[in-house]
């Protein structure tokens, strides 16, 4: 099955700085890569996703890049704010299969 | 997106008993899933809840321990049977609305087994 590795496990950044989280996947058939944000005691919320037919996608301060050849994808958060503090999970699946394999998560702390 | 509710939101159970968790969606959805999130851990897929047929279980999860029902396109239940402290986790249902590719999660059920 699919194996998704995520690094780092924790990330502390100064408010206004950028945060980068990296994930690798093992199954070359995977072609859908969502990112979820989970605040303490809350459900995971989708923040951005990317399909394998594109290399980059942006949504305001958030961007995701995908390197299919290397089988890795990254989340970039610019101009971090205290409300960005949360656990972030990457995931991978085969589109139309929908079974998500999650990374271990990254706890992001934004220092004011 | 879909509005998803789960009942109960939390429960404390004695070992050896069972807990049934309900997942209700405000619209018909094609795909429904059940995930487990152990304390401080990531999410692991338990099974796909198939409407009108037996659920499809992932490796390491069996029907006797996690029976699932899905009588229609808006509702599913997950039962965690013969509880042990190791079953203490958050159980989340998720759905993929028919006109989308995005997967949305329910609020989760926090289970503590004593």
Between the two ends of chain A, the Cα-to-Cα distance in Å is 41
pLDDT tens digits, residue range B71-96? 999 999 999 999 999 999 999 999 99
B14: tokens are 């004695």
Express the helix, strand and coil content of chain A in percent, nearest 5 each. Answer: 5, 55, 40
Min Cα separation B84/chain A (Å): 23
Q: Which residue of B has its CA nearest to A5?
A: B42
Q: How high is the pLDDT of residue B52?
A: 85
B56: tokens are 């499809």
Q: Are A46 and A97 in contact (CB under 8 A)?
A: no
Element (H, E) at B112: strand B109-113
Query: pLDDT class for A53, splitting at 50, 70, 90?
Result: confident
User: Which residue of A37, A43, A51, A103 is the best one to mutate when testing the B interface, meaning the one whose CB has the most B CBs within 10 A?
Assistant: A43
Q: Given an 8 Å threshold on Cβ–Cβ distance, is B45 in contact with A101?
A: yes
Q: Given an 8 Å threshold on Cβ–Cβ distance, is A101 in contact with B104?
A: no
Q: How high is the pLDDT of residue B104?
A: 95
Please give the DSSP secondary-structure letter assigned to residue A93.
Answer: B
Min Cα separation A91/chain B (Å): 10
Q: Are B95 and A27 in contact (CB under 8 A)?
A: no
Query: pLDDT class for A50, splitting at 50, 70, 90?
Result: very high
Q: Which of A31, A11, A29, A28 is CA-nearest to residue A20?
A: A11
A108: tokens are 């992001």
Q: Are B40 and B48 in contact (CB under 8 A)?
A: no
Min Cα separation A62/chain B (Å): 17
pLDDT tens digits, residue range B1-21? 789 999 999 999 999 999 999
Count the Cβ atoms, other than its own, within 10 Å of residue A103.
Answer: 25
Is a pLDDT exceeding 80 seen at residue B110? Answer: yes
Q: Given an 8 Å threshold on Cβ–Cβ distance, is B42 in contact with A34?
A: no
pLDDT tens digits, residue range B13-49? 999 999 999 999 999 998 999 999 999 999 999 999 9
pLDDT tens digits, residue range A3-32? 999 999 999 999 999 999 999 999 999 999
Q: Given an 8 Å threshold on Cβ–Cβ distance, is A98 in contact with B107?
A: no
State how far the alpha carbon of B66 is from the alpha carbons of A11, A53, B16, B21, B55, in Å: 35, 37, 14, 11, 10
In chain B, residues 9-68 whose CB comes closer than 8 Å to chain A: 31, 33, 41-45, 48, 58-59
């Amino acid at each position: 099955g699919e194996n998704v590795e995520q690094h780092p496990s924790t990330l502390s950044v100064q408010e206004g700085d950028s945060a980068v989280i990296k994930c690798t996947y093992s199954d070359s058939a995977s072609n859908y890569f969502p990112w979820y944000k989970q605040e303490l005691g809350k459900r995971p919320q989708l923040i951005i996703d990317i399909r394998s037919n594109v290399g980059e996608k942006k949504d305001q301060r958030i961007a995701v890049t995908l390197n299919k050849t290397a089988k890795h994808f990254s989340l970039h958060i610019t101009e971090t704010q205290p409300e960005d503090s949360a656990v972030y999970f990457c995931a991978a699946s085969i589109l139309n299969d929908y079974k998500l394999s999650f990374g271990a998560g990254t706890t992001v702390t934004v220092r004011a | 997106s879909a509005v998803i509710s789960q009942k109960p939101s939390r429960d404390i159970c004695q070992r050896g008993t069972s807990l049934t968790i309900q997942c209700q969606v405000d619209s018909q959805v094609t795909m429904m899933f059940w995930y487990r999130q152990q304390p401080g851990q990531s999410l692991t897929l338990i099974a796909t809840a198939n409407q009108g047929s037996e659920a499809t279980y992932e490796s390491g999860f069996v029907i006797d321990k996690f029976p699932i029902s899905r009588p229609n396109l808006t509702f599913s239940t997950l039962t965690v049977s013969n509880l042990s402290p190791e079953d203490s986790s958050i159980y989340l249902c998720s759905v993929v609305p028919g006109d989308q590719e995005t997967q949305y999660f329910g609020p989760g059920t926090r289970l503590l087994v004593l």
